[in-house]
């Protein structure tokens, strides 16, 4: 009796698993992925590189990232940051476990998220907390400034919010979770 390949049954022992076939998209060479990326605009490139791990890693190609940043009009900003790092005006990026391609990648992702062509399901901005400013009051009145006008100023680092109300300055720490309803604040009064 002659056996045909279809008649053979394979039994695998304990602990042996049949490997799942890897999808063709994950087996594409990096060179082909880079050629595909060059045909896309920055927004489509940002979406495509999040397809799978191999596509994401191929998206770290320096030439592709520079090309996408130039197409999006963001290269001059990134180039300025990278030049500052090279001139020792900024701390070395490599010491923080980062490299220039990572910075370019993050910049591109942020610009695509904030841009008008953002097609993602997540919004560009997410509310993480609310602060009530209803309890503001000034200890001292300044005649030249309207008593009911509050002025809001965010710090350069984005961690603090300064609210001036009359002659009183409130400084709020942002991105801070509190047990009670009041945000941590410091009050400066003249």
Residue 11 inside a domain? The answer is no
- Bridge partners, 173 (sequence order): 160
pLDDT in tens, 158-190: 778 888 887 888 888 876 655 554 555 666 655
State the total domains in the chain. 2
Q: Are residues 98 and 60 in the same domain?
A: yes
pTM: 0.55
Exposure b/e, 31-57, CB count within 10 A at least 16 = b: eebeeebeebebbebbebbeeeebbee
Q: Which domain holds residue 189?
A: 127-190
**Last-in-domain residue among 81, 114, 147:** 114
List the Cα angle 181/186/188 in 5-degree steps. 135
Contact between 51 and 25 (Cβ < 8 Å):
yes
- Bridge partners, 185 (sequence order): 172
pLDDT in tens, 62-92: 999 999 999 999 999 899 888 876 666 555 5
The CA–CA distances, whole Å, from 39 to 36, 109, 123 equal: 5, 18, 26
């Amino acid at each position: 009796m002659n056996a045909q390949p279809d008649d053979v049954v394979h039994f695998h022992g304990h602990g042996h698993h049949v490997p799942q076939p890897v999808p063709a998209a994950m087996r594409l060479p990096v060179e082909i992925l880079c050629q595909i990326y060059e045909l896309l605009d920055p927004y489509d490139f940002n979406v495509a590189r999040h397809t799978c791990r191999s596509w994401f890693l191929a998206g770290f190609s320096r030439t592709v990232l520079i090309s996408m940043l130039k197409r999006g009009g963001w290269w001059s900003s990134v180039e300025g940051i990278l030049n500052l790092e090279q001139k020792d005006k900024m701390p070395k990026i490599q010491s923080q476990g980062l490299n220039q391609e990572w910075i370019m990648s993050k910049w591109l992702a942020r610009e695509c998220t904030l841009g008008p062509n953002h097609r993602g399901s997540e919004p560009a901005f997410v509310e993480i907390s609310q602060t009530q400013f209803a309890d503001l009051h000034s200890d001292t009145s300044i005649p030249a400034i309207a008593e009911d006008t509050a002025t809001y100023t965010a710090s350069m680092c984005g961690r603090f919010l300064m609210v001036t109300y009359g002659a009183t300055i409130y400084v709020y720490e942002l991105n801070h979770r509190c047990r009670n309803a009041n945000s941590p604040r410091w009050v400066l009064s003249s």
